[in-house]
Amino acid sequence: MRIDLHTHSTASDGTTSPVDLVRAAAATGLDVVALTDHDTTAGWAGAAEALPPGLTLVPGAELSCVWPAPDGRVIGMHLLAYLFDPAEPVLRAERARVRDGRIVRARRMVELMQADGYPVRWDDVLREAAGGPVGRPHVARALVRHRLVADVASAFTPEWIGRGGRYRVVKPDTEVVDAIRMVRAAGGVPVVAHPLAAARGAVVPAEAYAAMAAAGLAGLEADHLDHDADARRRTREIAADHGLLVTGSSDFHGANKAVALGAATTDPAVYEELLDQATGSAPVAA
Ligand SMILES: [Zn+2]
Ligand SMILES: [Zn+2]
């Protein structure tokens, strides 16, 4: 069994439609694929309808969260949520609140660039998002389109919208312990995505996971492109300390990231344990 529990479609910041994503997952030999777009379930129906025989779809989302450090810093985190009830009102309202925050933030970035004399317009960003939720990659692509940067990666720098960037604007994401409780209350199973991906910014210290485990966290994603061998080993140690499961996944984004579907996978026994904990929705098989 080849199981990839973390992918993005055009419903968030991937470049592959939900339909094409499940077809590609089957073509690459996956048995199980989770669709985990950022803060949205908009891709679930399309992926389910197009599901090829032999492939199981795990409906999910990747929730934008923060961990407030005792020293006052706010550290961004991503929480994978599997098999929750998409209609459960509290979690649904929170997804909408976070998505709206993305729009406010992207608009503000454009305003700051315009104030410095750059010709980027909000319409340009909306066009890049093509009707999906607006995110920083769409702002980045608008910068590429205007030849202000050479490529998307060059936009994620301190000159532009990267870490410490001149035009970076923070958004009001969910406190991770609250998010874990919301996912559980909606019948879902929460797993922290790429917990030690230091290249993305500050990471949460190991001691913070006690409170998350107590709130109902199920697992940690260890095998991920942004984790080197040491980060994978340390993630497994944190998981062992708190009785958490360990997953692996590609975090596929289509052409937005150079990683293939199934580049990392999850152990079938771990997958079964995640399924056993889920009550909000069921995996879909054709
Ligand atoms: Zn992520
Ligand atoms: Zn992701």
Sorted by where each begins, the domain ranges of the chain are 3-97+183-285
Q: How confident is the model at residue 200 (pLDDT cuts 50, 70, 90)?
A: confident
Mark out the alpha helices in 116-146 (DSSP H runs): 122-129, 136-145
pLDDT at 130: 82
Q: What is the DSSP string of 32-82?
A: EEEE--BT--TTHHHHHHTPPTT-EEEEEEEEEEEEE-TTS-EEEEEEEEE
User: What whole-number distance in Å separates Cα of residue 40 and Cα of residue 61?
Assistant: 6
Among 12-16, 156-160, 210-214, the minimum mean pLDDT is found in: 12-16
Ligand nearest to the CA of 38: 2
Tell me how far the alpha carbon of residue 76 is from its chain's centroid.
12
Work out the angle between the directed axes of helices 176-185 and 89-115 (0-180°, nearest 10): 140
Which pTM value belongs to this model? 0.85
Output the pLDDT for position 37: 96
CB 161 within 8 A of CB 199: no
CB 262 within 8 A of CB 30: yes
Mean pLDDT of 76-80: 96
**For the purposes of burial, counting CB atoms within 10 Å of the CB of 21, is it exposed (0-12), middle (13-18) or buried (19 or more)?**
buried
H or E stretch covering 224: none
Report pLDDT for 176.
98
CA–centroid distance, 251 to ligand 1, in Å, is 7
Please give the backbone phi and psi of residue 256, each rounded to the nearest 5 degrees, phi first: -75, -10
> What is the mean predicted confidence (pLDDT) over 31-36?
98
Q: What does the pLDDT read at residue 199?
A: 85
User: What is the per-residue pLDDT for 170?
Assistant: 80
Please give the DSSP secondary-structure letter assigned to residue 146.
Answer: T
pLDDT confidence of residue 286: 81
* Per-residue confidence band for 255, with pLDDT thresholds at 50, 70 and 90: confident
Number of Cβ atoms within 10 Å of the Cβ of 93: 11
Percent of the chain scored above 70 by pLDDT? 100
pLDDT of residue 73: 84
The Å distance, Cα 116 to ligand 2 centre, comes to: 32
Separation of CA 77 and ligand 2 centre (Å): 11
Name the residue with higher pLDDT: 201 or 21.
21
The CATH class of 3-97+183-285 is alpha beta
Least confident of 76-80, 206-210, 253-257: 253-257
Tens digits of residue pLDDT in 135-145: 888 999 999 99
Q: Would you state the torsion angle of the CA atoms of residues 60, 63, 69, 75, taken in this order, to the nearest 10 degrees?
A: 120
- C-alpha 194 to ligand 1 mean position (Å): 7
| Residue 116 structure tokens | 């410095």
Question: How high is the pLDDT of residue 156?
Answer: 94
| pLDDT exceeds cutoff 80 at 132 | no
Q: Say which residue, 258 or 61, is predicted with more confidence.
A: 61
Cα of 78 vs centre of ligand 1, distance in Å, is: 5
